[in-house]
Amino acid sequence: MNLNLKKLAAIAVTVLAAAQASAAPVFDNGGASTNNGYGIAGPVTGNGSTSADDFVLTTAAEISSVGFYFNNYNGVTGWDGKISYAFLSNDGGRPGTILATGEGRNVRQLAGDYAWCCGDQNSKLIEFDLQASFAASANTSYWLRLGSAGGPTPWWVTSGTNGNAFASGSSTGASLAFYLNAVEDAPGEVPEPASLALMGLGLAALAARRQFKQG
């Protein structure tokens, strides 16, 4: 391939890369508070030692990752880094039917020390990717439940005292500290399939022209 063709190929790759998806925040339930924390050690398919809070999006979105505030009595270093999640329907102001479950992927601790109700440990902000994106409709109540976190007594930290959170199947009256990110197109116009096809034809035509001149 000659230099011009290489340049055109590089441009094509750049255009395609611009169409890649990125994540943007679509819901924020607030940061960590000193109020309380609730257990997230149990499997998300049940109520035992799991915690959940509700959310509503103003526009439909493909939720791709979750951030939440975490601690346990040994601090974040006593945690094995595992977390499972479930999205549930709303059933009269409480968690309803499970709509999707999965294990957190690419679990990471973000920088910073945050409020914590108990002991001398600080809570930490944890973010993870969903195993598969969750399609949430606009103006619809859903619940996010977390569980299966290892370590001694893992907790999901609250964001306040006035909320709808459930812990181990019971209402707490608190809100849990978390946010949701969703897939969005990167800035710039995503090329239509026809445009990409024309780009490929252009590369082929240029290659043929070069071969004709060299012949």
Instruction: Kindly state whether residues 136 and 180 are assigned to the same domain.
Output: yes
Instruction: Kindly state whether residues 121 and 209 are assigned to the same domain.
Output: no
Instruction: Kindly state whether residues 158 and 144 are assigned to the same domain.
Output: yes
> Is residue 143 a contact partner of residue 66, using CB atoms and an 8 Å limit?
no
Instruction: Kindly state whether residues 210 and 125 are assigned to the same domain.
Output: no
Give 38's pLDDT tier (boundaries 50, 70, 90).
Answer: very high
pLDDT cut 70: percent of the chain above it: 75
In this prediction the pTM is 0.78
Can you give the three-state secondary structure of 158-209, one letter per residue? EEECCCCCEECCEECCCEECEEEEEEEECCCCCCCHHHHHHHHHHHHHHHHH
Note the pLDDT of residue 150: 85
Mean pLDDT of the chain: 83
Give 21's pLDDT tier (boundaries 50, 70, 90).
Answer: low
162-174 mean pLDDT? 97
Instruction: Kindly state whether residues 213 and 151 are assigned to the same domain.
Output: no
Residue 192 has pLDDT above 60, yes or no: no
CATH code where residue 173 lies: 2.60.120
Give 151's pLDDT tier (boundaries 50, 70, 90).
Answer: confident
13-28 mean pLDDT? 64
38-66 mean pLDDT? 96
Q: Which of 35, 29, 31, 32 is nearest to 161 (CA)?
A: 35
Domain membership of residue 88 as a residue range = 21-185
Instruction: Kindly state whether residues 11 and 107 are assigned to the same domain.
Output: no
Instruction: Kindly state whether residues 156 and 199 are assigned to the same domain.
Output: no
Note the pLDDT of residue 28: 98
Q: Domain count of the chain?
A: 2
Instruction: Kindly state whether residues 130 and 202 are assigned to the same domain.
Output: no
Give 103's pLDDT tier (boundaries 50, 70, 90).
Answer: very high
Note the pLDDT of residue 215: 54
Higher pLDDT, 95 or 5: 95
> Is residue 41 a contact partner of residue 154, using CB atoms and an 8 Å limit?
yes
